[in-house]
Amino acid sequence: MTDLAHELALGDVYLSPLLIVVFLAFVFASITAIVLNKLKVSHYMLYPSLSFICIMVLYMALIDSFIIKF
């Protein structure tokens, strides 16, 4: 048996691990964006939407390497 998960079962519905990783990364990036807006750090970013995507990609890499392997 391999260490890699090919699909996650939620009842009778099978989900791709990538779908869950993207959803969790979006939630964590949204929380980070809210915190950055409250601290007024986002005013110093040239392209806030691009920085949101970059933060989301970083969270995807962290979640993939430590929590859910896809």
* Contact call for residues 25 and 63 (beta carbons, < 8 A): yes
Q: Which tokens in the block code for residue 28? A: 């964590």
Chain segment 10-64, per-residue pLDDT in tens: 788 888 888 889 999 999 999 999 999 999 998 898 998 999 999 999 999 999 8
pLDDT for residue 11: 84
Q: Which has the higher per-residue pLDDT, 68 or 20?
A: 20
Q: Which residues contact 24 (CB under 8 A, 6 or more apart)?
A: 59, 63, 67, 68
What global pTM score does this model have? Answer: 0.80
* Contact call for residues 42 and 30 (beta carbons, < 8 A): no
